[in-house]
Amino acid sequence: MAEAPLCGLQDEFTCSVCLDTLTDPVSIPCGHNFCLKCLTDCWDQSQECSCPQCRENFTTRPALRRNNLLNEVIKKLKKTTISPPPLPPTPPPQNYAGPGDVECDFCTSKKFRAVKSCLTCLASYCQTHLQPHYEGDALKHHKLVDPDRNLKEKLCEKHQKSLEMFCKTDQMCICMMCGMTEHNGHKMVELEKEREEKQRQLGATLSDIKRRLEEREKTLKETRRAMQ
């Protein structure tokens, strides 16, 4: 009788860092669970302490204690006849990050090449660590873009939020918090719409420059013929 409900909860017992069944599970203040070693390694390699799943930042590093109840449930899960979820396939050698590639922020040993960057999490992911963004309800609405090594430049220095708007009044990129505070009442548009408008303006300018160059080249040829 216990096997059916446990089967439906298999994902709840998976660490989102190593994508395997939790080992020595620990819980952090935001409510997410990870393997003790995975979380320790992740925090030891970062200058800030944040949840690898929801990216919530903690001002002080939380003390990690094993979740005994969850640990016992996982032990019982392993004793059932349910087969554990298959491990993700090992990426081929060409997926390792090379010179010029954007590295995955969550690979703890040899870094794999990132296939997407998340503008919401401000992190880059290899194919394996990107899967929670496609499967988890909390992450699937995040904005994914091609790998970008300059994610921090897309962050508002004042509010530490993504730059999503363009203030036409002040001619600068702003976050949503800026739009509700010091830029309140200004003329604002979505950053993507402003980028498209700037591209159209640049295209028109380049066409005009090209036309003028062709006219000057024609005038120069006529002058040379007259001199001859």
pLDDT digits (tens, 9 = 90+) for 139-149: 888 888 888 88
State the pLDDT at residue 4: 43
Please report where in the chains the tokens 């420059």 appear, as a residue: 209
Cβ neighbours, 10 Å, residue 38: 22
From the list 56, 17, 14, 54, the residue with the least C-alpha distance to 37 is 17
Kindly list the domain boundaries of the chain, sorted by start residue. 1-84, 97-154, 159-228
Q: What is the CATH number of domain 159-228?
A: 3.30.160.60
**Distance between CA atoms of residues 127 and 58, nearest Å:** 27
CA dist list (Å): 53 to 16, 47, 132: 7, 17, 8
Question: Which of 3.30.40.10, 3.40.50.300, 3.30.360.10, 3.90.1170.50 is the CATH number of 1-84?
Answer: 3.30.40.10
Average pLDDT, the chain: 81
The helix (H) or strand (E) run that includes residue 49 is: strand 49-50
State the pLDDT at residue 9: 55
State the pLDDT at residue 186: 92
Q: What is the pTM of this model?
A: 0.37
SS3 for 191?
Answer: helix
**Distance between CA atoms of residues 141 and 183, nearest Å:** 27
**Distance between CA atoms of residues 209 and 35, nearest Å:** 60
State the pLDDT at residue 81: 47
Mean pLDDT, each 10-residue run in order, the chain (228 residues): 47 79 85 86 82 83 82 75 55 68 87 87 88 83 83 77 85 87 90 86 90 90 88
